[in-house]
A and B are shown apart, each in its own frame.
Chain A
Amino acid sequence: MRPLPIKRQCKIEVQREALKLKSMPSFTKVETIEAKLAELDFEEVSSATVVSDGRFWHKRTFENASETITVSDEVGDVIYMRDPVITILGNSETIEKIRKIA
């Protein structure tokens, strides 16, 4: 395989370095978050039932070419408002787009 030109290699490296971490609780419905993720070309790649802080969560992982987003939505009979937790490993632009709807 022919190696990538130096300029292209650098560009890829810069893109990788640009990934940032962000976690935020959301007060919107999971469906709204899902719709936004679909719009941003994210695909669900795995899901599992997770127990954390004594609560059951449906944790789903979404990925696109380089970014990863997990959405954890509480499951079970709860009397308080659910607040899905969104964790993003992505670029600033994606974080900002998700923050706007969360």
Chain B
Amino acid sequence: MPFYECSEHHFIENLRRILESHVKIVVNRSLIQHDDGKYGLSFIPDFEIKKYETIAQRARVRSGAYAAKPFYDNYHKKFHMEGDVLHAGRYHSVKSLSIPYYRVEYAFSIWNDTYTHSFEVLFTPEIKLEKRDLPNHKKNVLMHTLNFLPPDEKSIKLSLPKSVLVFDVKRMTRA
């Protein structure tokens, strides 16, 4: 069974052509949360690293990212001291701070061909000053705390007409 990967533009336009021919269509959607170190501070564009500039510094894209000050990563439950490597640009195995993300996949099948569009939506960092107990027994220390907020539902879905049935599925397997 042929399997075609589409960009957002191609996927929507293919769907529009089907809808205009009055064919009823079912679109499957899978949404899986990942935190596998695929996205780290070294490789994200400058636009995204600006959200972390209170706690992290990086010279340029694909260079190492370091902790600019001590902070607590509340999502991964981990302390980072000033100067800690958060993501190494050269050594891919060094990933001490990974950005969680949702992988979203849309697919529809027609005449035994399957057309898919997939994308990944990064969680948004939220950096706040909070009181924390440090591992070296210092209590109630005011320090920066990093949280990751899941993206808004509107950002993780494609807006489709009501005539399109969208079925949520756990996983899409390719034959």
Contact = CB atoms under 8 A, between A and B. Distances in A.
A46 to B, nearest CB: 4
Contacts of B155: 46-48, 50, 59, 61
Interface string A47-87: 11111110010110100000010101001110000000101
B15 interface: yes
Interface string B120-153: 1110100000000000000000000000000111
Interface in B1-40: 7-9, 11-13, 15-16, 19, 39
A56 B159 contact: no
Nearest to B117: A52
B61 interface: yes
Interface in A27-53: 45-53
Main secondary structure of the interface of B (DSSP, over half): mixed
B161 A76 contact: no
B109 interface: no
B118 interface: yes
Interface of B: 7-9, 11-13, 15-16, 19, 39, 44-48, 61, 101, 117-122, 124, 151-156, 158-163
B72 to A, nearest CB: 23
Chain A, interface residues (CB within 8 Å), range:
20 to 34
Interface of A: 16-17, 19-25, 45-53, 56, 58-59, 61, 68, 70, 72, 75-77, 85, 87, 89
A6 to B, nearest CB: 20
Given A23-B9, A51-B122, A76 B47 contact: yes
